[in-house]
Amino acid sequence: MFNPIARVTALLALVALPVLAQEDTRPTIAVLPFVNSAIGASNIELAPLSKGIADLLINELAQNPGIRLVERENIQKLLDEQNLGRDGRVEAATAAQLGKLLGAKHLVTGSFITDRSGKMVLTLKSIDTETGRIEWTSTQNGKTEEFLDLVTRAGAAANAGLKLPAIAAVARQSSEARTEQQRKVPFQAVMLYSRAISAQDSGNRAQAIELLSQAISAFPNFADAKAAKAKLESSR
């Protein structure tokens, strides 16, 4: 049962104030943690990806300056306050209410699964928070070693499926250069990044920074890991 509480509403209202003050009319998107559908030992091993995928997808969607994204930390605060989605599963009606509290028109959820051959499937859907209806779905397939290419394709599918504003030429060139670099990030670095996100949410900043350092060591040009580490270190 979803029971909004005053302190959460107040918190999110404060978060939204700067946006309202600027009259930001861009479409707003929130991305929930992904459901871990892996079976057996893989379910435990890949558990950090639930939050890792969501965070990386937010970073991917952020390449489009024509949209506004709810920060993952604010989403996690609300989920923690409401004791929701600990396994990534949130009912559609609840998701719609979450989206409204977060000030998001579109709320993206999804799941992932792998098989023994190293193939991964990402399934995504978006819920219109005004109607509670599923407005868009997408399935992306690929190898785990090409994981960030999967995330990039998922981001492109979301931009197209949700009919989001087109990316301007300059921003598109920057995004394409980033995409080309991200494709080279090994899955080991992605897992370290995902574990860092989980450590951050558990309140263990030092461990999160250490894991991000390991991810950068595994792939020195991992832009998302560098940005996440810099953000954590600046907030000390």
Please determine, for residue 146, whether its predicted confidence score (pLDDT) is greater than 70.
Answer: yes
Mean pLDDT over the full length of the chain: 86
Q: Is 136 helix (H, G, I), strand (E, B) or coil?
A: strand
Q: Per residue in 170-200, pLDDT tens?
A: 777 777 777 777 778 999 999 999 999 999 9
97, 195 contact by CB (below 8 A): no
Please determine, for residue 201, whether its predicted confidence score (pLDDT) is greater than 80.
Answer: yes
Please determine, for residue 93, whether its predicted confidence score (pLDDT) is greater than 50.
Answer: yes
Please determine, for residue 17, whether its predicted confidence score (pLDDT) is greater than 50.
Answer: no
**Position with higher pLDDT, 118 vs 170:** 118
The reported pLDDT for the residue numbered 180 is 77
Question: For residue 202, which of 51, 69, 45 has the smallest C-alpha distance?
Answer: 51
d(CA 156, CA 60): 9
Mean pLDDT of 49-54: 95
The reported pLDDT for the residue numbered 164 is 93
**Position with higher pLDDT, 83 vs 128:** 128
The reported pLDDT for the residue numbered 107 is 94
The reported pLDDT for the residue numbered 139 is 96
**Position with higher pLDDT, 3 vs 138:** 138
Please determine, for residue 13, whether its predicted confidence score (pLDDT) is greater than 50.
Answer: no
Question: The tokens of 117 are what?
Answer: 């051959």
Question: The tokens of 221 are what?
Answer: 């040009």
Please determine, for residue 215, whether its predicted confidence score (pLDDT) is greater than 60.
Answer: yes
